[in-house]
Structure 1
Amino acid sequence: MAGHSKFKNIMHRKGAQDKKRSAMFSKLSREITVAAKMGLPDPEMNARLRAAVLAAKAQSMPKDNIQRSIDKASSGDAENYEEIRYEGFGPGGVSLIVEALSDNRNRTATNVRTAFSKNGGNLGASGSVSHGFERMGLIEYAATAGDADKVLEAAIDAGADDVQSDEDGHQIWTSIDQLHPVARALEGALGEAEAVKLAWKPGTEVTVTGDDAATLLKLIDVLEDDDDVQTVWGNYDVPAEELEKLG
C-alpha cells in the first residue's frame, strides 16, 4: 500500500465505507466551494475548480451537490476557509504532508499536532518534507480498467507523464496543467476514473512493516477523520502481507 493510494485501502480495511463516503463528500464540497471562491465559478476557466469537480465526479458525487457547492461560493453563505499545509514525520521515518482547509487555524494546528504526537510521529517545520515530493496531477483507475499494458498505452496516448500499476489499480501521473485534458482523454479510452486530483508524488518510498506500519495507519486514520483535513500524502509503502496481518 503506497502513500498515494492509502485512502482507498484504509477505507476497505476499516469496513466503514458509508462513514468515509459521507466525510469524503463533505471534504470534496468544501474544496469545490473554496476553489470557486478563489477564481471564476466556471470549471473551464478555473483549473483548481476543474480538478475539484473532476474529483467529485470520480467519487460519484451527485451533480446537484456539485452545483450547490459552486453556487455557495458566490452566495455569501460560504465560510472563510484558510488553506494550511502541515509537514511532519511518522513511524519508520515516513514523511507526511497534511493539507487542510480550516476556519480556525489554532484548532486545526492543535488537532494535527496532537495526532502526530499521540501516534508515533512529530510535526515538522514548513518545507521539512515537501522538498522530497513533486506537486502533480493524479488520476486513479481500478484494476478492472484493464491490465498494465492497456492502461500504459492509453496513458501514453493521452499525454501522461508516468504510470504505476499494481494489484490495487493504476495511478497515472501528469503535470498539473495537463490534468484536465489527460483525464478527459483517458475517460474516452478507459471509462470514468476512480479519482482525479492534485497530489504530492514522493521521490522515493520508505517500506514500513510491523509495529511501525500499524502505528502509521492509525496516525493516518486519525488525521483523515479530522473534518479540517482534506488529504494526507506520504512516502510510505506498506507491503500487502503487512496489511493482511493488520486486518
Structure 2
Amino acid sequence: MAAWAVVNLSRAAARCLRARDPGVREALLRASQSEPPDWSFAWGRMLHVTAAVPAGHNKWSKVRHIKGPKDTERSRIFSKLSLSIRLAVKEGGPNPDLNSNLASILEVCRSKHMPKSTMEAALKMEKTKDIHLLYEGRGPGGSSLLIEALSNSGSKCLSDIKHILNKNGGMMAEGARHFFDKKGVIVVGVEDREKKAVNLERALELAIEAGAEDVKETEDEEEKNIFKVSGKLGYWAAFREGPNRHIKACFSPFLLSCARGTGVKELTYYTNSY
C-alpha cells in the first residue's frame, strides 16, 4: 500500500515539475523506478469474520419455552379475575366490607400475586356504563347454553354472540335458563391452614355442616388436588366463618348446575373455576 502511494505521488510530482526543472523530474522518475510498484493490492469490500455463537447463550432462549406459556396462563387468570371483580362490584357494590363476594375475589387476587394496579383498574372500570346481559342459546347436539356478558353495547354484544354460535353450529334460543339453577362454588385445597391433609369424606362432612350440597375432588390447572364445594348462593360466608374457618379457600365463583333431567351436569356461569 505504501509503495503504491509513493509511486502515484512521484508520478504526480513529476508531471507538475516537468516544465520547471528537468533535473528534479529525472530524480523523481529514477526514485520511482528503483522500487517496483506492488500491483497485488486491489480495492474491495472488507470482510468481517466473527466466531459462531451457539444457541442458548442468553437466559431468555433457555427459559422462553417454559416462561412463555406460564406468562400466557398468568395473563388469562388475571383477565378472569378482573372480570370477576367487575361483576361482583355490579352485583354488590365496591365496598369489600359490605360485599362478601368481592372480598373473597380480592383475597384470591392477592393469593395469585395480581398487581395492585390491575385490581384498582378493574374496580375503576366498573364505573363505566357497562350493562350486564344474559343470553340463551342452543349448542351442538341440542345442548342448552346460558351466556353471560358485560358490555357497553347490547346490540354489538348480541351480534358477536350470534356470530360465534352460528360459526360453531349453535343458535339463539329461549328456554335454556329453565334447565339450570344458580349456585355458588368454592375451590379449596386438600390441606388445611396447618398443612394437614383433608380427605374427601371429611371435606364433605365440613361442607354439609356449612350448608353446601356437594363436594368433588379434582385437579386444578397446575395439576394440584383440590375440592370443589358447591351449594346455594350465600353459603360462602357460613362456610368461611363456621367450622371450616381452618380451611383455606382458593376461590368462590358462580356455577349454574343442571338439576332438571338434562344431560348437562354443570355449566360454568362465568369461567372462574380455579
Per the shorter chain, which TM-score range? 0.5 to 0.7
Contact in 2 for aligned 1:138/1:171 (Cα 8 Å):
yes
> What CA distance in whole angstroms lies between the structure 2 residues aligned with 1:122 and 1:151?
40
Partners of 1:51 and 1:180 within 8 A in 2:
no
Conserved 8 A contact 1:183-1:196 = no
* Deviations 1:48-87, CA, capped at 9 Å, x for gaps: 53454355456553455434533x269xxx4321101112
SS at match of 2:137: strand
Give me the whole-angstrom Cα distance separating, in 2, the residues matched to 1:37 and 1:143. 32
Q: Decide whether the 8 Å contact of 1:97 with 1:232 is kept in 2.
A: no
Asked whether the equivalents of residues 28 and 52 of structure 1 are also in contact (C-alpha less than 8 Å), the reply is yes
Q: CA deviation at 1:91?
A: 1.9
Distance 1:97 1:53, change over 3 A: farther
Equivalent in 144, 158, 170 of residue 109 of structure 1:
158
Is the contact made by 2:85 and 2:106 (CA closer than 8 Å) also made in structure 1?
yes
Question: After the TM superposition, which residues 90-129 of structure 1 pair with which residues of structure 2 at under 5 Å, given as runs?
Answer: 90-125=139-174, 128-129=175-176
Secondary structure of 1:107's match?
A: helix
TM-score, normalised by the number of residues in structure 2: 0.57
- Which one of the candidate residues 165, 172, 193 is aligned to 2:229? 172
Cα deviation, residue 119, structure 1? 1.1
Secondary structure, counterpart of 2:255 in structure 1:
strand
> What SS is found at the alignment partner of 1:114?
helix
Tell me, which stretches of 5 or more residues in structure 2 are unaligned?
1-67, 192-196, 220-225
Q: CA RMSD in A?
A: 3.6
Q: Deviations over 1:103-151 (max 9, x none)?
A: 22222212211111111222213xx111111112111235676431121
Residues 1:184 and 1:53: Cα distance change in structure 2 (over 3 Å): farther
Stretches of 4+ aligned residues off by more than 6 angstroms: none
The one-letter code matched in structure 2 to 1:101 is L
Note the 1:1-247 alignment, pairs <5 A.
18-33=71-86, 35-36=88-89, 39-50=92-103, 52-54=105-107, 56-57=109-110, 59-63=112-116, 65-70=118-123, 72=124, 78-125=127-174, 128-142=175-189, 146-157=198-209, 159-168=210-219, 169-185=226-242, 188-193=245-250, 195-203=251-259, 204=261, 206=263, 231=270
- State the distance in 1 between where 2:255 and 2:242 align: 19
Cα distance change, pair 131–207 in 1 and its aligned pair in 2 (3 A):
closer
Amino acid at match of 1:155: A
Structure 1: gaps (5+ residues): 1-14, 209-219, 225-229, 234-247
- Computing the radius of gyration over CA atoms, which structure comes out larger, 1 or 2? 2
Q: Is the helix fraction higher in 1 or 2?
A: 1
Aligned equivalents of 2:73, 2:155: Cα separation in 1: 25
Give the length in aligned residue pairs: 192
> What amino acid maps onto 1:99 in structure 2?
E
Aligned AA (2:187): E
Using the aligned pairs only, state the percent identity: 24
Kindly provide the amino acid, as one letter, of the partner of residue 100 in structure 1: A
**Paired residue type of 1:110:** S
